[in-house]
Amino acid sequence: MTIASMTEALPVLLSDIEELVTCESPSQDLAAVARSAEVVARLGARRLGAEPERIVLDGRTHLRWRFGAGPTRVLLLGHHDTVWPLGSLATHPFSVDGGVLRGPGCFDMKAGLAMIFHAVAALPSRDGVTILVNGDEELGSPSSRSLIETEAAGCAAALVLEASAPGGALKTERKGVSLYRVRVTGRAAHAGLEPERGVNATIELARQVLAVAALADPDQGTTVTPTLMSSGTTTNTVPALGEFAIDVRVRTVAEQTRIHTALERKGTFLSFSDVEGALPNQAGVEVLGGPNRPPLDGASSAGLYTRAQKLAAELRLPPLTCAAVGGASDGNFTAGVGTPTLDGLGAVGGGAHADDEHVLIDALPGRTALLTALIADLLAGGRAA
């Protein structure tokens, strides 16, 4: 595929993106995800001339296209779920204006899905290509993780069509993610009549938050962020129950292990009873959760990034750039099983998960042509180093 031919096909590509964006697909809504899967399947079948397998896991619909009788060499990875609730199109309608495409989920990552179909359709041969589109990425891919890892194992490369980093940069490093919840059990009492008879879950939560936050190591790029918190039932009752969530981001497996070990006690999740000032033998503290995604380190992407740079130059595209980002994707899973992985190959734009989510239209032809060239190069060559 040349950039010129992709530019000619741009109106069709934009129409395909509109078809995807205007089918809302919030991750938490199983019916909406199922409807979206059918739209993705219909569009993919139209461009590729082949129906996908529909894989339903825990009520969530994932799609897979496999081409050729031999093993998969190149895995193309995307997701069709979004963070946008039903009704978002009423406040954030699909639009194309002034070279900018807008709409909920357009950047993250429905434009990337349309790019996959157009790029694969332009290949001289598709043998050895697998496309996997899951429906729960925004939740951490709880049902599709095993599927992704199985498909990626042994491939020459996994190419992830998540949106680019700022300026169109490819994502060559991603932090690993761990997710936890800290639950505190106290004892209720009347806050005015006899508060001394209660065990205040809110006070213990506050102590736990400070202890957890202290596990961060900015020098290592490790963030440990207490997030959503809830406690108590009424304003005049000593809180008996409470909990908060923890979002952990790490650059290395060693740091992910360190944090997990700090939260773990003898193979079970117990209390921080050794925290200074904690309520001794009174408030029960339970820590639930663990690592969600391993880090995607630069070594996993280096060979593929070098190939992409060379191909971009041959296509006379602007020089590629790369970025390390804090957000995770399903590329973390493919890198975690040892498959060379290059992420951020999707749309150029910005505003993921935000009111200003958008795609820059002028970048779509070159970006899609680069994807086609990279797939063809990998199919013709060896395993990416």
Q: Can you list the domains of the chain with their CATH numbers?
A: 3-174+295-380 (3.40.630.10), 176-293 (3.30.70.360)
**DSSP-H helix ranges across 197-314:** 201-213, 253-263, 298-314
Which residue among 16, 24, 81, 108 is the active-site one? 81
pLDDT band per the 50, 70, 90 thresholds, residue 278: very low
**Alpha carbon 36 to its chain's center:** 18
In tens, the pLDDT along 217-250 reads 999 999 999 999 999 999 999 999 999 999 999 9
User: pLDDT tens digit string along 286-301?
Assistant: 899 999 999 999 999 9
Residues of the chain above pLDDT 90, percent? 90
Core vs surface per residue 278-317: b (16+ CB within 10 A) or e: bbeeebbbebebebbbbbbbeebbbbbbebbbebbeeeeb
pLDDT at 26: 98
- Confidence at residue 283, expressed as pLDDT on a 0 to 100 scale: 79
pLDDT band at 384 (very low <50, low <70, confident <90, very high): low
274 — pLDDT class (breaks 50, 70, 90): very low
- Going by pLDDT thresholds of 50, 70 and 90, the confidence category of residue 385 is low
The least confident of 55-64, 89-98, 268-277 is: 268-277
- Listing DSSP states for 287-308 in one string gives EEEEEEE--B-HHHHHHHHHHH
Note if 81 is an active site residue.
Answer: yes
pLDDT of residue 277: 45
Given 18, 137, 138, 255, the catalytic residue: 137
Question: Which pLDDT value is given to residue 2?
Answer: 78
Could you tell me the pLDDT band of residue 265, with boundaries at 50, 70 and 90?
A: low
Radius of gyration in angstroms for the set of CA atoms belonging to the chain, rounded to a whole number: 23
137 is annotated as an active-site residue: yes
Q: Is the pTM of this model over 0.85?
A: yes
Note the pLDDT tens digit of each residue in 136-195: 999 999 999 999 999 999 999 999 999 999 999 999 999 999 999 999 999 999 999 999
- Mean pLDDT (the chain, rounded): 93
Tokens describing residue 324 = 């390390």
User: What is the residue whose two structure tokens read 């290509």?
Assistant: 129
* pLDDT tens digits, one per residue of 325-375: 999 999 999 999 999 999 999 999 999 999 999 999 999 999 999 999 999
Percent of the chain with pLDDT over 70: 94
